[in-house]
Each structure stands twice: as structure tokens, then as C-alpha cells.
Amino acid sequence: MIIEKNHIVKNYVNGEWYVPKGDLLDVTNPTTGEVIAKVPLSDKNEVDKSVHIAHKAFLTWRKTPPVERSRYLYKLQQLFEKNFEHIVGLVMLELGKSYADSKGEVMRALENIEVAAGTPTLMQGYNSEDIARDIDEYAIRRPLGVMMAIGPYNFPSMIPFWFAPYAVATGNTFILKSSEKVPLTSEFMVKLVEEAGFPKGVFNLVNGSKDAVDALIENPLVRGVSFVGSSNVAHSIYIKAAEHGKRAQCQGGACNFIVIMPDSPLDKCADNIVNSFYACAGQRCLAGQNLVIVGDKARYEEVKTRMTTIVKNLTVGVPDDKNADFGAVISPEHKQSIIEKINQAEKDGANIILDGRNFVLKGFENGYFLGTTLIEFPKNMFQHSTVHEEIFGPVMNLLSADTYEEAVELLESNPYGNAANIYTQSGYYARRFAYEVHGGNVGINIGVPAPVPHFPFGGMKRSFFGILHGQGQDVIEFMTEKQIVIQRFYKED
Ligand code: NAD
């Protein structure tokens, strides 16, 4: 067993591992429904203690030269490589994600460490000589102090590393508050941070839920808040952070549209489209939710038939099953919320082509599995809540549009703007699409347009609150503040 029996997840503060006082919450394996661990819900006292320690550590850490700080990341990178399969195993265990998808996300965490190690160059400032006679001006990027990140459940290894390595590499100290639904991966990754030898108090882990988040934001020594999760929470955190005078980058939920144009070759693109909707059981913020088929009736039927055939043959299974296309969803409550969205669509007149609501995986009857669902919406239902609100499950909605313009109008009527995808061979329509839509991550014949670490992870409209995103040069800007120095020296007499 990858986790010992009766495991209690620990906080890591000031280089010490311990279980804080207070309530414990069950951590469940979504594949079996079994409780596999308990996670503490840290209270305000605990949070304030960790912030105080992180602040104290900052006073020394910020003086450590950037090249030296990067050396800790090189060590961490090696430890991630060495323990790669173990991290993958934890993601599979607590999230129920397939081996291939778990591997993909851990790889992205690793790549973020690699990119952050370039901080000595990435955080360089700039200067101008002679802005006035004998006067020079320069801008220095300085760390801010204690930075914190709050993660969602669906990428337990990758998302904390959109922020963590950059925060510490730029000279800040850091507190991670991972999702209480998937705390095991974070706990292990922070053990690797410890092994890499970071000085005490530089990198801290505080477990908990809303109360811990509130206490972190309210603490005056916390300077910046990085958040990834659902839109309503992202929005409330953005407001709270502003009230408390700190910078925030809050990445929210999604409801993504994929437009398929009449010229798109189904033989080449159909599998890629299907993967966007169903891999990770649809629990990706870049997953497709709505497929808008552009063209006449014959084209609509052609795409619908192809999608139905592929989707019908997808395999739902446990994470170790190499043939499984996806596994369970995170919780019984989330499973029920997906079922209710399908129920509502059906009740209001949508056609359920494939119905995954009653799916049971033999031998795993207590797991939170759903089969594949494919729903066809008539035109008068194109503004339905099941089309425009995030489902985050293994569901594809089919919609039609006579023209490209009609498809874009439908997409743009949606309040979210995380991903927007088009499948076409036409450079003209591809360019127009990227130019016209409000999608933070645009895919052109790409089902999941996930930015690599040296690009920011986009997001627009209700999918993002802030200016600077995670990853890329954005995160370096976010983790540093610019100080401007204007100087002159008089000739000594
Ligand atoms: P969530 O909003 O329920 O929780 C995210 C984090 O916020 C957790 O750590 C949780 O403890 C904390 N939290 C929850 N409610 C809170 C509250 N009221 N006040 C303060 N903190 C609170 O999200 P989730 O269900 O864990 O994750 C799924 C969501 O995340 C989906 O909406 C998905 O689209 C989104 N997501 C977005 C991106 C992106 O880059 N835009 C990436 C991954 C996931």
C-alpha cells in the first residue's frame, strides 16, 4: 500500500512535521469509496503561527543569491525524477485519474521546477543611463515576503507547482494550502522539498479548508494570494484579497466550447476531440463541454455519428487499468451534481444519445463512477444551464450552427473564458477565431490547449480574476515587486 493504514496528513512548518490540533476530515479513494487517510483542518492560530515563521525565514532567504536559491530547485528536480512513479501513484490513488493522465500532470509539475530554476535570469531588472544629466535609473525585481497558494482537487501535483517553485526561487517564502480532497500528493511532494534541503520556514504546508484560507488572506504578513478552483470561490477570494490590500491571481472554473468546421477531417481529429471531453472523467479546466458542429444537416449527422461511435467505445476503469480511458469522479456529491445537470437537460427536452448516469463498474460498486454521456440539444435550448454552466464530468453536449459566426456568437454568450477551440484547415477561420473569442487558452486543432511552463496559463471572463496568471513571465512578475532607483553622485571635492 502506497499509504500506511490510519494515515493522518501532517502540516510542515519551520521544517517540522506535525498534526495540528483541531478537526480531521476523511480523505477518500474515489475508485473504491474507502477512507484512506485523514486530513487536519488548520485553524487561525495554526495559520498565524505558520505565517509568522514564513515571515521570519523570509528575512534571511531573500538575501540568499538567486543562483544559490536555484540550486535547491535542481536538487528538487532530481528528487522528483527519482520519485516520479510514487507521485504518480498518489495522484491515481486520491484522484482516481488514469496512469497516463497522472503521469502527464506530474511531468508538468517537474517542468515547472525546471523553468523556475532559471530565475536568476528571469527576475533580472532593467536600467537606463542618463535619464537626466549624470542621473541613472534602474528597476529591481524584489521578492515580496510570504506568498501563498490554494489548489483545486483535479491536479494535485501540477497546480501547486504553477506557483511554488517560482515563489521561492524569486526569494519569497511560501505556504501551500492544497485541496483537502487530495492532500496526500502535496504531503509527499513537500517531503521532497524537505529532502532538497530548503532552509526551515521557506516552504510550508498548511492543511485545511475555507477557515485556513480566510486566516491566510487576513494575515497582514501574507503579501500575495495565488488561487485555482471554481469561479465563485475565485471571485470571493479576489475580493477578500483586495480588501486586505494584497495582490491576487485567481484562476476560476470553465465551460469550454469546441467548434468544428465543415472542412475539418474527422479521420484525423475525432479522437483528439473526444479525449478533450472525457479524459480525467471531464475534470479538467480545459476539457471540452460543448461541441458546436458548423455546417449543414448532413455534416451534423456525420459528426454526431462519429462522436457516438467513439464515445460508446470508451472504457471506464480503475487507474491501474491501462485500457481505461478514464476513472471515477472525485466524490459522491460531485457525481450527483453531474447527474442532476443531465437530468435537467433531459427534463427540458434535450436528447440523451448516450447515458452514463447508471453506470456501475463491476467489482468497484462503491466507487464514484459515471459512464459516458452524450447529449444533443435542440436550437431552442442553446442557452440551457447544462450548456452554459460547468459540468466537470464525462459529458459531451452537441450543438449545431449554420455558420462560423453563429458558432462564435454562441461561444461568446458564455460567461466563462478558459479554453476555446476550433478544428479547421482554414487559416482564415483559425486566425479569426483566435482574434475574436474571449478564451484565455485557444486551441487550433488542439483539444486541450494547456500552456507549457514558460507560457502563462490563460483565462478570461469568469475564468480568471486578476492580471498576472500562473506560469511564464507572469508568475515572475506576480512574485516580485519592482523598485525603481534613481541615482546620481557628486564629484568629490
Ligand atoms: P473549489 O473552488 O471547491 O476549491 C478550491 C480550493 O479552494 C480548495 O483548496 C478549497 O479548500 C478552497 N475553498 C473552497 N471553498 C472555499 C471558500 N468558500 N473560501 C475559501 N477557500 C475555499 O474547487 P475544486 O472543486 O477543488 O476544483 C475544481 C474547480 O477548479 C473547477 O471549477 C475547475 O474548472 C477549476 N479549475 C480551474 C483551473 C484553471 O486554471 N482555471 C485549473 C484547475 C481547476
Span 289-321, pLDDT tens digits = 999 999 999 999 999 999 999 999 999 999 999
Q: How is the chain split into domains, by residue range?
A: 11-252+463-485, 256-444
**Fold observed for domain 11-252+463-485:** Aldehyde Dehydrogenase; Chain A, domain 1 (3.40.605)
Cα torsion 448, 264, 417, 408 to 10°: value is 180
pLDDT in tens, 123-148: 999 999 999 999 999 999 999 999 99
Atom number, ligand 1, closest to the C-alpha of residue 251: 41
For residue 230, how far is its CA from the centre of ligand 1 (angstroms)? 4
Q: Is 179 in the pocket of ligand 1 (CB under 6 A)?
A: yes
Q: Is 105 in the pocket of ligand 1 (CB under 6 A)?
A: no
DSSP 326: B
**Is residue 443 very low, low, confident or very high in pLDDT (cuts 50, 70, 90)?**
very high
Q: For domain 256-444, give the CATH number.
A: 3.40.309.10
Q: Is 29 in the pocket of ligand 1 (CB under 6 A)?
A: no
For residue 63, how far is its CA from the centre of ligand 1 (angstroms)? 34
Mean pLDDT of the chain: 97
pLDDT for the residue numbered 388: 98
Which of 185, 217, 218, 285 maximizes ligand 1 atoms within 8 Å of its Cβ, making it the mutation to test the pocket? Answer: 285
For residue 368, how far is its CA from the centre of ligand 1 (angstroms)? 19
Burial of residue 107, with CB atoms counted within 10 A of its CB: 0-12 exposed, 13-18 middle, 19 or more buried? middle
The answer to whether residue 464 scores a pLDDT higher than 90 is yes
For residue 232, how far is its CA from the centre of ligand 1 (angstroms)? 9
**Is residue 493 very low, low, confident or very high in pLDDT (cuts 50, 70, 90)?**
confident
Q: What residue owns the CA closest to ligand 1's atom 38?
A: 285
Q: Is 463 in the pocket of ligand 1 (CB under 6 A)?
A: yes
For residue 135, how far is its CA from the centre of ligand 1 (angstroms)? 49
Q: Is 150 in the pocket of ligand 1 (CB under 6 A)?
A: yes
What CA–CA distance (Å, rounded) separates 419 from 439?
5
Q: Is 391 in the pocket of ligand 1 (CB under 6 A)?
A: no
**Is residue 473 very low, low, confident or very high in pLDDT (cuts 50, 70, 90)?**
very high
- Start-to-end CA span in the chain (Å): 77
What CA–CA distance (Å, rounded) separates 469 from 473?
9
181, β-bridge pairs: none
Contacts of 244 (CB under 8 A, 6+ apart): 217, 218, 220
The answer to whether residue 1 scores a pLDDT higher than 80 is no
Tell me if 12 sits within 8 A of 204, measured CB to CB: yes
pLDDT in tens, 251-263: 999 999 999 999 9
Instruction: Dump the DSSP string for 206-250.
Output: ---SHHHHHHHHH-TTEEEEEEES-HHHHHHHHHHHHHTT-EEEE
H-helix or E-strand spanning residue 395: strand 395-401
What CA–CA distance (Å, rounded) separates 106 from 215?
29
H-helix or E-strand spanning residue 409: helix 404-412
Strands 256-260 and 419-423: parallel
Q: Is 317 in the pocket of ligand 1 (CB under 6 A)?
A: no
Contacts of 45 (CB under 8 A, 6+ apart): none
Catalytic residue numbers read 285
Q: Is 457 in the pocket of ligand 1 (CB under 6 A)?
A: yes
Is there a common fold for 11-252+463-485 and 256-444?
no
Tell me if 400 sits within 8 A of 300, measured CB to CB: yes
Atom number, ligand 1, closest to the C-alpha of residue 457: 40
The phi, psi pair for 120, rounded to 5°, reads: -50, -35
Q: At what angle do helices 99-116 and 66-82 cross, to 10 degrees?
A: 160
Tell me if 49 sits within 8 A of 60, measured CB to CB: no
Atom number, ligand 1, closest to the C-alpha of residue 330: 25
**Is residue 2 very low, low, confident or very high in pLDDT (cuts 50, 70, 90)?**
confident
pLDDT in tens, 154-197: 999 999 999 999 999 999 999 999 999 999 999 999 999 999 99
Q: What residue owns the CA closest to ligand 1's atom 40?
A: 251
